[in-house]
Amino acid sequence: MSATAWAWLVLLLPLLGCVVVSLGFRAIPARVAGVVGTAAVGLSFLCAVAVLVNLLGEGADARHHASSLWTYAGAAGLDIKLGIYVDQLSAFMILVVTGVSALIHLYSFGYMRSDEGYHRFFSYLNFFVFSMLLLVLAGNFVLLIVGWAFVGFASYALISFWYRRTTATRAGMKAFVINVVGDIGLVLAAFLIFRELGTFDYGAVFAHAPAVFARGEWTVTAICLLLLVGAFAKSAQIPFHTWLPDAMEGPTPVSSLIHAATMVTAGVYLIARTHVLFYLAPTAADVAGFVGLATLLVAGTIAIAQTDLKRAIAYSTMSQIGYMIMGVAIGAYAQGLFHLMTHAFFKALLFMTAGSIISAMANIQDIDRMSGFWRAMRFTSLMLVVGGLALAAFPLTSGFFSKDSILAYAEARGGMYTWMAVGGYVGAFLTAIYTFRLVFRVLPGRPCEEAQHLIDTGELYHGPPVNPATGEQEDTEVGFPGAHHHIAEQSWPMAVAMGVLAFGALFAGLIQIPGVDNVLFGFLDPAFADSPLAAIRPSAGAEWRGLAIGAVISVVGIGLAWYLWVARPELPRLFRERLRPVYLLCLNKWYFDEAIDFLVVRPALAIGRFADSTFERLVVDGVVSGTKDVVGGASGVVRTVQSGFLRSYALLLIAGFAGLALYFLLRAT
Amino acid sequence: MSIDWYIALSALLFATGAMGILLRRSPIVILLCLELMLNAGNLALVAFSRMVGNQQGQVFALVVMVVAACEVVVGLGLIVAIFRRKLPLDVDELRELRG
């Protein structure tokens, strides 16, 4: 079978899983639904491997194929096909997406065991995987938008999965609204592309764009800026990032899958896919690079102050995606995607460990309450350390190589991009601190009440079911989390998924060691051969220098975190008191929510109220009731003729005909 | 004999029927008056047919008779139905279709 045939199977299997689980939810038992959902994505991963094998069997320049099943719309110069495009980039993306998704499905199989909405969960998850694969496999902008909107919906449905929690439904709506803003940007960009180039097809657009647009022309800059609106909203970059921390209201596997490993990296994929356009629009590319830089720094500072375990990791996700956006924007395409892959491994792993710890804490997410889990949950703690090391770019872990490859590229490109490298290293220092702040606050020390309970009885602590955000009482029926929680130590699917990801988090970087091997870049580079920026390569010496700086920063950051939160735990409190304004700024997330509320939400509400009270009441109601009155009055006059007297009708009839006859007689003479 | 007399008689009959419809209130009499008007028309058709000298007008008269028979069936049926439901047999009383 050809690469495209396998790619169609990759797309079909999760859709099939979703349909089977959602339509058969009465007939099939919960366990089977989990197996079906997991197997669908697992098989999809195998098909993705087959795609890769097929591509590797071809010459490096022939590794791109378009295939279409049928034509969606073909009229008046419009030619939209239900088509996919398989090249190195999409093959790489489907491998990452299906691989990590399969593991997270496996994890959910154990983690969501006691939830009443088990079927629903797996059908949503499968639908999400299908949508994400559609997004990365789409062969034209229309299908890309379809996949883009589908993942937005899947994200909304899964954030609000516990739909009886008001905080969860609000978070879902927030995510959806902000994502729709991004969708609008993407749709407008597609319109502009069609207006200028007359086609939506990737191959034709990227082939013709360099001839149609001059470099730096305003139309292509506008297209790229609109694409960026979509990318920023999906990838939680400033100023469209506020939905991501709130999205942590969803179940932890969802945070792991959608809001860490796959969906939020769609913006990175989009920029990498449209790199031809971004090369033609250097202004837009620089905007993206600096927004990425700003996001990675801002999110890093916020993550240091957060006390909610999942939210702190969510800010870390934002920060890491900032690296990727910065990378693909300035031309480090393969490097950005490399970081995308390693980040998918270690961030999914971190969320999984967070889920395990939160289960042991009976759904409490506040790290102020946690301590001493090293003695209670050895495996989970080990995984947290592994994920933390990779995130903090500890030497020889995967994050170490991927993050530094981006920064080495920025330095090699020189000019103002050197500042991006410097900012990136500052961000790396923040990353090491906030990551190991979590580790050092959760793992060592005297076990907290919940951890002690686990050590003493070997069973999980069960408090009354409450909403961790508000403390409201809940029950355990459908629409709320189930009655029992599950930790990796007591559930083999969770442990297996975490073990595999930990392997990836530790060793995935070894496929791309500067000067030693070149597996990933060697595969991806031909896809970006049409951009002169991809040819810039730091020398091996510069790369090793960067790695050395990264290693020092990482070790110093971890050491500082150890000093602050283990050796001298009174110091952070002192900082909080001395540097109160800075602390408040970080704790309150740089007041982005308040700023957006003030600048966007309130004016929109005011306009809405004005429209309701003034425009609706006076203008719309005036026109409507005015029309009604005119028609009613006129028909009141005409109605008097309908007296109901048969003989008056007869008189009218006869008189009318007599009048007509008289008229014609007079005319005739 | 001149055609004038026939037409005059026809017009007289038609006017009688029309006056009957306008003045009388009993549905049966109105039906009778309708028949009178139709037959006035028939008379005119046959007279013109004789004058012109072909048969087409007489064929029309036959068609009008058929229509008249149908109309009487419906009309009488309505009258019987009104009678059965014990409604007044008076077209001025039956005015529920007032707008």
pLDDT > 90? residue A279? yes
Contact by Cβ (8 Å): A90, A523: no
Choose from A646, A649, A651, A653 for mutation: most chain B CBs within 10 A. A646
In a domain, B24, yes or no: yes
Q: Which residues from chain B sit within 8 angstroms of residue A646, using beta carbons?
A: 30, 91-92, 94-95
Report d(CA A350, CA A384) in Å as an integer.
6
Whose tokens are 């759904």? That residue is A363
Q: Which residues from chain B sit within 8 angstroms of residue A645, using beta carbons?
A: 91-92, 95
**Hey, is the C-beta of B98 within 8 angstroms of any chain A C-beta?**
yes
The domain in which residue B33 lies consists of 3-84
User: What percentage of residues in chain A have a pLDDT greater than 70?
Assistant: 100
Q: Which residues from chain B sit within 8 angstroms of residue A640, using beta carbons?
A: 99
Contact by Cβ (8 Å): A242, A177: no
Cβ B91–A647 below 8 Å, yes or no?
Answer: yes
Q: Which two tokens stand for residue A567?
A: 């050796």
Q: Which two tokens stand for residue A337?
A: 């995607």
Predicted confidence (pLDDT) per residue in A120-144, tens digit: 999 999 999 999 999 999 999 999 9
In a domain, B12, yes or no: yes
In a domain, B53, yes or no: yes
Alpha-carbon gap: B33 to the closest alpha carbon of chain A (Å): 12
A511 DSSP 8-state letter: G
Q: Which of residues 69-88 of B touch A (CB under 8 A)?
A: none
**Hey, is the C-beta of A647 within 8 angstroms of any chain B C-beta?**
yes
Whose tokens are 């990801």? That residue is A501
Report d(CA A640, CA A628) in Å as an integer.
19
pLDDT given for residue B41 in this prediction: 93
Classify residue A505 as exposed, middle or buried by CB count within 10 Å of its CB (0-12, 13-18, 19+). buried
Nearest CA in chain B to A650: B22
Residue A583 pLDDT level (bands cut at 50, 70, 90) = confident
Instruction: Report the number of distinct structural domains present in chain B.
Output: 1
- At residue A123, the 3 state secondary structure works out as helix
**Hey, is the C-beta of A643 within 8 angstroms of any chain B C-beta?**
yes
The whole-number average pLDDT for the span A334-361 is 93
Burial A154-165 (b: 16+ CB within 10 A, else e): bbbbbbbbbbeb
**Hey, is the C-beta of A646 within 8 angstroms of any chain B C-beta?**
yes
Report d(CA B60, CA B45) in Å as an integer.
7
In a domain, B47, yes or no: yes
Q: Between B22, B23, B95, which is nearest A644 by CB?
A: B95
Q: Which residues from chain A sit within 8 angstroms of residue B18, using beta carbons?
A: 654
pLDDT given for residue A462 in this prediction: 84
pTM for the whole structure: 0.81
pLDDT given for residue A570 in this prediction: 86
List, in sequence order, the alpha helices (H) in A198-217.
202-212
Report d(CA A646, CA B23) in Å as an integer.
11
Q: Between A644, A647, A650, which is nearest B96 by CB?
A: A644
Choose from B7, B16, B21 for mutation: most chain A CBs within 10 A. B21
Cβ A641–B91 below 8 Å, yes or no?
Answer: no
Predicted confidence (pLDDT) per residue in A624-646, tens digit: 999 999 999 999 888 888 888 88
What rounded mean pLDDT belongs to chain A? Answer: 91
Q: Which residues from chain A sit within 8 angstroms of residue B25, using beta carbons?
A: 647
In a domain, B36, yes or no: yes
**Hey, is the C-beta of B18 within 8 angstroms of any chain A C-beta?**
yes
Least confident of A315-324, A563-572, A655-664: A563-572
In a domain, B97, yes or no: no
Q: Which residues from chain A sit within 8 angstroms of residue B30, using beta carbons?
A: 646
Q: Which residues from chain A sit within 8 angstroms of residue B23, using beta carbons?
A: 647
pLDDT > 80? residue A73? no
**Hey, is the C-beta of A650 within 8 angstroms of any chain B C-beta?**
yes
CATH number, position B67: 1.10.287.3510
Cis status of the peptide bond prior to A239, with omega within 30 of 0: yes
Q: Which residues from chain A sit within 8 angstroms of residue B21, using beta carbons?
A: 647, 650, 654
Predicted confidence (pLDDT) per residue in A608-623, tens digit: 999 888 888 888 888 9
Choose from B14, B30, B95 for mutation: most chain A CBs within 10 A. B95
User: What percentage of residues in chain A have a pLDDT greater than 90?
Assistant: 61
In a domain, B92, yes or no: no
Q: Which two tokens stand for residue A614?
A: 């003034």
Cβ B98–A650 below 8 Å, yes or no?
Answer: no
Strands A65-75 and A78-86: antiparallel
The whole-number average pLDDT for the span A461-478 is 82
Cβ A642–B97 below 8 Å, yes or no?
Answer: yes
Other CB atoms closer than 10 Å to residue B49's CB: what's the count? 17
Cβ B98–A644 below 8 Å, yes or no?
Answer: yes
Report d(CA A381, CA A652) in Å as an integer.
98
Cβ A647–B95 below 8 Å, yes or no?
Answer: no
Predicted confidence (pLDDT) per residue in B71-86, tens digit: 999 999 999 999 999 9
In chain A, what is the greatest distance between 2 CA atoms, to the nearest angstrom? 123
Other CB atoms closer than 10 Å to residue A132's CB: what's the count? 29
Q: Between A639, A644, A654, which is nearest B18 by CB?
A: A654
Cβ A643–B98 below 8 Å, yes or no?
Answer: yes
Cβ B21–A650 below 8 Å, yes or no?
Answer: yes
Least confident of A42-56, A177-191, A446-460, B11-25: A446-460
Alpha-carbon gap: A624 to the closest alpha carbon of chain B (Å): 24
Q: Which of residues 386-405 of A touch B (CB under 8 A)?
A: none
In a domain, B89, yes or no: no
Interface size A-B, in CB pairs within 8 Å, comes to 34
Least confident of A10-14, A28-32, A266-270: A28-32
Report d(CA A344, CA A100) in Å as an integer.
7
Predicted confidence (pLDDT) per residue in B39-92, tens digit: 999 999 999 998 988 888 899 999 999 999 999 999 999 999 999 999 888 888
Rounded to 5°, angle at Cα A661 from A657 and A663: 115
Burial A238-259 (b: 16+ CB within 10 A, else e): bbbbbbbbbbbbbbbbbbbbbb
**Hey, is the C-beta of B91 within 8 angstroms of any chain A C-beta?**
yes
Provide the sign of the torsion angle of the four alpha carbons A11, A12, A18, A22, taken in this order: positive
